[in-house]
Structure 1
Amino acid sequence: MSAPGISQFDLVIAGVGGQGAILASDIIGKAAVKENMPVRAAETHGMAQRGGSVVNHIRLGCELGSMIPLKGADVLFALEPSEALRYLEYLSDDGVIIVNTDPILPVTVTSGLCTYPDVATIILKLKETHEVKAFNATELAKEAGHAQSMNVVMVGAVSNYLPIPVETLLECVRELVPQKTIDINIKAFELGRSQVQG
């Protein structure tokens, strides 16, 4: 049972190795702890170091298991477009997809063994069943000062849905990113947040 006054919120973060899915989940998880919110998390790395699929489950206000059931997530937060398709089965029927439209091509595509699906086609497929917030988070990260802050752009975007105060999330960004990149990451967060507002 959730703590009094705390609504339960289930979030799936999907990406590929090297995109910063773990840092994104750490920011959200630490912010939930600061708000005295029960939090459960599970991470699956697989072949993450080789650019393989990474998925993190974050359950806020939940004291049950750490794995989100199929069709259980409120938001699917995808750092890469094809990963949104891969983990779509975890999203509830009325859930929202927040997706970075910048693809990362696996070795099988760059070597010519496979083709990567057209990103516009992926987004249209996702929109057949769900509300989708799709934008190029990598470009926003570059605008903030560094492409590697893309994961924080995405945390800013999902902050519009999380039952956690923005100030607490920003405090955790400051604590968890490298000190010399704090200003870039704060700007990245704010650009992502404004991208999805309204």
Structure 2
Amino acid sequence: MSRSASSPDRQIFMVGRGGQGILLLARALAEWAGRMGCDVITSETHGMAMRGGTVTASLKVGAYAGPLIPAGSADVLIGLDAEEAMTHLFMLRAGGVSIVNARDKGLFSHAVDAAQAALSLGAPGAVNMIMLGFAARLLGIDRAVVEDIVEKISPPGALAANRKALGAGYSIQET
């Protein structure tokens, strides 16, 4: 990324399927931006989330207007599902970065098999936290800040798994 975490103006588009934790991921990144003292605008689309349908979240950090990210304008796309990420690549600007849970890099800028890593941890529902750790590392976001945010926003029963998954995300290697 050409922008550092110290000048975080950016538009981040997140996509996945219902139940994957897109909204918690978006909340964590919005909390980070707020702690940086930035203006934050968020937007979510749930659709058929209860049935595994598409879920998207938009995060605008900095001096932006309106909650939606126009097609071709996102600086970063984070995909918890490779098929959904592929379908939404049109959201990225030229030179934008895609960070996707996928077994193969394909057309994505960065890919990690977060699903397999989550299974290995015994926490198959923690793909979002692995992707948060991986994306935060790539975006230059301080790990201690993200760990504190995860402590604050995790559901009580998921905190231990989320901690472990976040750590795995910071150390996971690309596929």
> Normalising to structure 1: TM-score of the pair?
0.77
Moved over 4 A (4+): none
Q: CA separation in 2, counterparts of 1:91 and 1:63? A: 16
How far did 1:29 drift?
A: 0.8
Contact 1:133-1:196 within 8 A present in 2 as well: no
Q: CA separation in 1, counterparts of 2:126 and 2:52? A: 18
1:160 has 2:137 as partner? yes
Secondary structure of residue in 1 paired with 2:170: helix
How far did 1:49 drift?
A: 0.9
The residue type paired with residue 148 of structure 2 is: E
Secondary structure of residue in 2 paired with 1:77: strand
The within-5 A match list for 1:1-198 is: 6-101=7-102, 123-124=105-106, 126-127=107-108, 132-162=109-139, 164-195=141-172
How far did 1:163 drift?
A: 6.0
Aligned to 2:3: none
Secondary structure of residue in 2 paired with 1:22: helix
Q: CA separation in 1, counterparts of 2:46 and 2:157? A: 27
How many matched pairs? 169
Aligned to 1:105: none
How far did 1:186 drift?
A: 1.8
Gaps of 5+ in 1: 103-119
The structure having more radius of gyration, on CA atoms, is: 1
Secondary structure of residue in 1 paired with 2:137: coil
How far did 1:96 drift?
A: 1.4
> Normalising to structure 2: TM-score of the pair?
0.87
Secondary structure of residue in 2 paired with 1:159: helix
Q: CA separation in 2, counterparts of 1:161 and 1:68? A: 21
